[in-house]
Amino acid sequence: MRNQTSAAEHKSVFNSRLFWALLSLFSALVIWLYYTSNYGASETKTLYGVEVAFTGQDAMRDTLNLVVSDQDATTVNVTLRGTRRDLSQINSEDIKAVVNLSNITMAGYRAMTYTLSYPSTVNQANIQDTGRFPQTIGLQISKLATRSWPVTGSFEGTPGEGYIVDAAEMTFDPASITFTGPEEELDQINKVQVVVARDEVSAAFTATGNYVLLDADGNPLEFDDVQSDTEIVSVNVPVSTVKEVALGMDLISGGGATADNVLVDIQPKTITVAGDAATLDGLNIVYLATIQLGSYLSFEPTVYPIVLPNGVECLSGETSATVDMEFTGLATKLFTVTNLRYTNVPDGYTASVMDGNKIVTIRAPEDVLDKINANNIRIVADLTGVADASRVPTTTRVPTIVYVDGFENAGAVGSYPLYIQMEEER
């Protein structure tokens, strides 16, 4: 009986005019909401950060050698009008602000308009472009150029004790780098530099690294549209040994004097040098000059250049040294020598001495000098080769050797040539 009552109640509800009226109203409301949402009144939507893109860029580069070197904006904001349905399909990432470069023919600044490119799923007929910011894109069009710069380097590490890094002698592979890009940007480049950093360096080494571009003030430069033929540079870094070496004079015995008879004062006495370890191992003294002691009675203070072996550098900076020398323990005396001789007369010739005598300065320790007389001294000319075809004159000036017989620690100071008369034998 209860079930029969419930079924009757349900049947009466579905047969009720109020029920069907309410259902019709609800359905109409749903249809109206759907229609107005998708096909009804227009709405607006602003998209921020829409990317700027280009067409005709490759053709402009290939045919006219022109490129975009700078632009006022890389994104734009646009306001669109359309139905909610259409606008819901569009985001900032879905569209592009496209600038057409096909009409550009020369370098310079241009304010360019752009068009909006939509995804294929959007019916562009239903979308209106109602606002843009900015309205145009400012472009700097530049001539494309190619230039090369030598690679330079700097060392920012620390050498080990007793070593030095020869940064000025670093070599690079490649030695230069070629860049291609807008002329305005290449004009800013002053130097291509590689920085090498390593601590406690004690031997030459090779490093690889990236380079940086510097302007005339040493500020780093970065360009998005400059290309190079390499990004990596290999650097050979020479490392030298540092050593203190003495300065000296090479004194050749003569005229009764040896190096022991000369007081030598050199300023500076030592210098600090750097160079290859193998070279410096055998370098303990740098000779400023070679002096034949037999040619000097006395010395004046003299400035000599400091000449170093190839590959050796003076770190302490000296380029010359002042040398003051003085004979000690010796005395000199003049002798009139009449014992004038010659040896080795060439075959087919006769010879005679034209000089009558020679006044000779003899140097020796004073006690030895007192024992010497003119009879101990002879002057001898060696005539070997004097009469050959290249020595045409009859009377020839011939170098000599002065002998002080019996006194090994005595000798003549200066030179004493003899005039020899040569004649062919008859």
Q: What is the mean pLDDT of residues 103-118?
A: 93
Strand order in the sheet with 349-353: 349-353, 418-424, 395-398
pLDDT category of residue 29 using cuts at 50, 70 and 90: low
Q: Residue 279 — pLDDT band, cuts 50, 70, 90?
A: confident
Question: Amino acid identity, residue 146?
Answer: T
Task: Find the Cα–Cα–Cα–Cα dihedral 372, 373, 374, 378, rounded to 10°.
Answer: -30
Residue 114, φ and ψ in degrees, nearest 5 = -145, 160
Which of 30-39, 93-102, 283-292, 383-392 is predicted with the least confidence, judged by mean pLDDT? Answer: 30-39
Range in 61-70, 253-262, 268-277, 383-392 the model is least confident about:
383-392
> How much is the average pLDDT of 393-419?
91
- Angle at the Cα of 183 (from 180 to 187), degrees rounded to 5? 100
Instruction: Please tell me the least confidently modeled range out of 57-66, 290-299, 398-407.
Output: 57-66
| CATH code reported for the domain at 43-135 | 2.170.120.30
- Closest of 364, 336, 340 to residue 255, by C-alpha: 364
pLDDT at 389 over 60: no
Report pLDDT for 7: 53
Enter the DSSP assignment of 136.
S
One DSSP character per residue, 161-215 reads TTEEE-GGG-EEESSEEEEEEEHHHHTT--EEEEEE--EEE-S-EEEEEE-EEE-
Residue 137: per-residue pLDDT: 95
Q: CB–CB of 357/340 below 8 Å?
A: yes
DSSP bridge partners of 44: 81
Amino acid letter for position 225:
D
Per-residue pLDDT at 33: 54
| 241-327 homologous superfamily | YbbR-like domain (2.170.120.40)
pLDDT for 59 = 92
CA distance 185 to 189: 7
Across 36-45, 68-77, 150-159, 193-202, least confident range? 36-45
Average pLDDT over residues 328-340: 96
Residue type, 250: D
pLDDT at 2 over 60: no
- pLDDT at residue 10 in the model: 52
Q: Can you tell me the distance from the alpha carbon of 316 to that of 274, in angstroms, rounded to the nearest whole number? A: 10
Query: If residue 422 lies in a helix (H) or strand (E), which one and from where to where?
Result: strand 418-424
CATH number of the domain at 331-424, out of 2.170.120.30, 1.10.287.1770, 3.60.15.10, 1.20.1740.10? 2.170.120.30
Q: Which CATH class is domain 150-237?
A: mainly beta
At 275 the pLDDT is 86
Closest CA to 276 of 239, 223, 307: 239
**Lowest-pLDDT range of 28-32, 64-68, 276-280, 376-380:** 28-32
How much is the pLDDT for 150?
Answer: 96
Q: Which of 47-51, 221-225, 383-387 has the lowest mean pLDDT?
A: 383-387
User: Cα-Cα-Cα-Cα dihedral of 395, 401, 407, 410, to 10°?
Assistant: 110
Other Cβ atoms closer than 10 A to 74: 11
Q: How do 158-159 and 199-201 pair as beta strands?
A: parallel
pLDDT of residue 1: 46
CA distance 295 to 412: 9
**Over residues 128-149, mean pLDDT:** 93
Is the full-model pTM beyond 0.75?
no
What number is the average pLDDT over the span 31-38?
Answer: 54
Question: Taking 60 as the threshold, does the pLDDT of residue 25 lie above it?
Answer: yes
Torsion sign, CA atoms 270, 272, 276, 278: positive
| b/e sequence 204-225, b meaning 16+ C-beta within 10 Å | eeebeeebebbeeeeeeeeeee
Rounded CA-CA distance 388/13 in Å is 155
pLDDT at 246 > cutoff 50: yes
The residue with greater pLDDT, 324 or 223, is: 324
Q: Where does the pLDDT of residue 202 fall: very low under 50, low under 70, confident under 90, or very high at 90 and above?
A: confident
